[in-house]
A = this chain, B = another copy of it.
Amino acid sequence: MTSEKMIIQIKEWLKEAAGYIQVSLTNKLLVSQKSNRKDLVTNIDEETQAFFIKKINQNYPNDRILAEEKGFDTIESLAGRVWIIDPIDGTMNFVMEQENFCIMIAVYEDGVGQLGFIYDVMKDELYWGGRKQGVFLNDQKLQQPKDTALSKGLLGMNAYMYGKNIYAAGEIGHASMGIRVSGCAGIELIAMLKGNHIGYISNLSPWDYAAGLVLLNEFGYKYSNIEGKPLAFAKREYFLAATPTAYAQIQKDFIRN
């Protein structure tokens, strides 16, 4: 069960973490490479994750946690209540741009998304919501975007998939009104929640999509791995989310043909 109290707590934690992150940007970041030179982590990613883990352990000691940084990046199953956290989504942007990054937190129960929070820290825009509760920007309830066709809207895209035409991502992009590459899953998911983009194609880990799926679901968006199978919440997968019309068109005309 999630509760109103839990929502209030998570919002407080997010604001506290955001304050810490913003102050940290006035100091020198300690940047390390993970799997390759473009896969970065900073001391702030790790400290922010530790902050959330401490809060969850204090308040919900029986819950389990799946999170991006070391020690928490795998989980046996989604049984029971699981928190899925990306302390800084878009670390490259955080390092290079000091903007266009998000904190993302999701609460799942037995594999079903209950709460989702995507916080654009530098804009102070918190997109959040819960199952059968709708989607909010800060305190304002958002309207469900229109079900726009592929040819009529912009598509968030992973640059590598676009350039290499992986799963026809290049062709799908050309069939849309254009692609946009922000380098941050949270920013792309927000663009869909606002109705600015009709879809998003990328290569994502569970903490990149867990919060977003709760919110996309409220607005009737379709999502899956790119082959149309349920997302596994395990290792990185090619990801597709789109309006129902664009999703069906992408599956029919580009993935399954």
A residues at B contact (CB < 8 Å): 37-38, 92-93, 96-99, 151, 153-154, 157, 159, 162-163, 165, 170, 173, 177-183, 191, 194, 196-197
Contact = CB atoms under 8 A, between A and B. Distances in A.
User: What are the nearest 3 A-B pairs in CB distance?
Assistant: A181-B181, A97-B196, A159-B179
Chain A: interface secondary structure?
A: mixed
Contacts of A191: 97
Contacts of A182: 180
Contacts of A93: 154
A182 B170 CA distance: 17
Given A154-B96, A196-B96, A173 B177 contact: no
A202 to B, nearest CB: 13
A96 B99 CA distance: 22
Contacts of A96: 153-154, 177, 196-197
A95 to B, nearest CB: 9
Given A97-B154, A98-B196, A163-B162, A183 B178 contact: yes
B98 A177 contact: no
B92 A178 contact: yes
B196 A154 contact: no
A181 B153 contact: no
A193 to B, nearest CB: 13
A165 B159 CA distance: 12
Contacts of A97: 154, 191, 194, 196-197
24 contacts: A38-B177, A38-B178, A92-B154, A92-B177, A96-B177, A97-B154, A97-B191, A97-B196, A97-B197, A99-B196, A154-B183, A157-B159, A157-B181, A159-B162, A159-B179, A159-B181, A162-B162, A163-B165, A163-B170, A163-B173, A178-B183, A180-B181, A180-B183, A181-B181
